[in-house]
A and B are shown apart, each in its own frame.
Chain A
Amino acid sequence: MKRIIKLSSLLLVMVLGLSISVNAQAKKKADKDTEDFVYEIEGVSVGTQGTYLIKVWSYSKKPTVAINQAKKNAVHGIIFKGFSGKPGVPGQKALATPAIEAEKKAFFDEFFADKGNYNRYVTESGDGSVAAEDRMKVGKKYKIGVVVSVNVSDLRKALEDAGIIKGLSSGF
């Protein structure tokens, strides 16, 4: 009896370890995807002062990882990618150039760390639930669309204060 308990405990630990490891790997892959711009952004609305409401499409084998990565992708996209417009919602240009990403790598590594400052400038719209049409299976991966709100005004100010991007009046 004791042996069975021992064996099942060992098995449980192994399964838990394996699941944590798979999750960690998926998270690592998601972070790599963020760096490689493997996500899509579309504007939902930009008529509110200081904020953009956007939908971020993220990819992962695990839907939860894709949902959690949406906020990071949103801020990364607003800083480096921008998004194209659609009728009634004009697109917006990126806050920084790709050259700045390489130049200020140390800053952005810390900024986009799991508990990094990027979290201050983004909130999930609604309760974070994903609509059925925003959850798709593409090959072996899930493509998940999450609507988030990015406080662009504060984000830009923070980047200007940190000397990452220039303000309109810098140099004058």
Chain B
Amino acid sequence: MKNKLIYLFISALLLVSVSGAFSQAKKPTIMVVPSDVWCNTNGYMLEFDNQGTKVKIPDYKKALQENADLLLVISKINELMATRGFPLKNLESALKTLQDQAAEDAMLTSKGGAEINESPIDKLKKVAKADIWMQITWTLNQTGPKKSVTFNLQGLDSYTDKQIAGASGTGKPSFSAELPVLLEEAVLAHIDNFNVQLQAHFDDMFANGREVILRVKTWSSFEGDFNTEYDGKELTEIIEGWITENTVQGRFNTTDATENMLLFEQVRIPLMDANNKAIDTRGWARNLQKMLKEKYQLESKLMMKGLGQAQLVIGEK
């Protein structure tokens, strides 16, 4: 009996250590999109009136349905990234899924006739999402019969708004090559340099933690603000103290701090929690939410945006 218990204990220990050893960080999603400049130049924009101001937004659906060159570039980049072991989310498929899901949600009812719950925020969040955008722009240059393509590929972090990778340049002028051929050459010429920088970004993330953004706000129903003192410390100080203790080497910036809101940028959160499980910003900020509730009896609502942005609103759920 005693031996059995020892074997059981050793097996459990091995299982825990093995699962820990194979734990992997949360993988960011990447999607290729045409830039606003490209969409505007080629007439793929939607224009609407926003309280007297004309606003233009890119019409990706129209661009994908009408421009074969765009499809070629996206498909080539997707193909090359897949061969590098990093398949990308496809813009066209993501848009179709959104459309299908919206139609399905509108028709979905329970046996009792109940409909799907959807708040205005839920509606607002129904857009194609990715953690990293690969934004492409190209222009065709023509000097007499000579043609060349200027190509620009940017890797943009959705949360920090930083350009984490990029490759650009103008290809060799050609008298005979068609635009699709020049575009394919441009993608092939630039993708490796882009990936070197993307790899450097991932290496930095593994070494120094994921760079994220945290916003802390208050509901109007909250009796107090960020200057209110708890146990002799202002709420701002308490939150900053928690972030210092729970970031890689205490790295973060307090970009904005008023009595009603706090904005923390360049927050380096660990990729794994204390149990060696992969976490994202929401998982990390949930610990702050728990701490505020347990120590100071402060309720809060936690919202997220992908892997790298979280918003905590203090006052109620």
Contacts and interface: CB of A to CB of B under 8 A. Distances in A.
Given A168-B202, A171-B202, A85 B188 contact: no
Interface residues of B, number: 33
A129 interface: no
- Size category of the A interface is 20 to 34
A47 B199 contact: no
A168 B27 contact: no
Contact of A171 (B24, B80, B192): B24
Contacts of A167: 84-86
Nearest to B76: A49
Contact of A90 (B26, B167, B173): B167
A169 B196 contact: no
Contacts of B196: 93
A32 B203 CA distance: 32
A54 B29 CA distance: 34
Contacts of B184: 47
B83 interface: yes
Given A88-B173, A93-B196, A169 B85 contact: yes
Contacts of B169: 85, 90
Given A93-B193, A167-B84, A172 B172 contact: no
Contact of A172 (B25, B190, B195): B25
Contact of B188 (A46, A87, A168): A46
Given A47-B185, A47-B188, A171-B206, A88 B24 contact: no
A90 B206 CA distance: 29
Contacts of A169: 27, 84-86
Interface string B174-210: 0000000000111011101101101100110010000
Nearest to A88: B172
B136 to A, nearest CB: 16
A168 B86 contact: yes
A42 B136 CA distance: 27
Contact of A92 (B192, B198, B199): B192
B173 A168 contact: no
Nearest to B205: A171
Nearest to A49: B188
Given A48-B188, A168-B84, A172-B25, A89 B172 contact: yes
Nearest to A165: B199
Interface of A: 46-49, 85, 87-93, 152-153, 160, 166-169, 171-172
Interface of B: 24-28, 80-81, 83-86, 148, 167, 169-173, 184-186, 188-190, 192-193, 195-196, 198-199, 202-203, 206
Given A46-B192, A167-B85, 7 more contacts: A87-B172, A88-B172, A89-B189, A90-B189, A93-B196, A166-B199, A167-B86
11 contacts: A46-B192, A47-B188, A89-B172, A89-B189, A90-B189, A91-B193, A166-B199, A169-B84, A171-B206, A172-B24, A172-B27
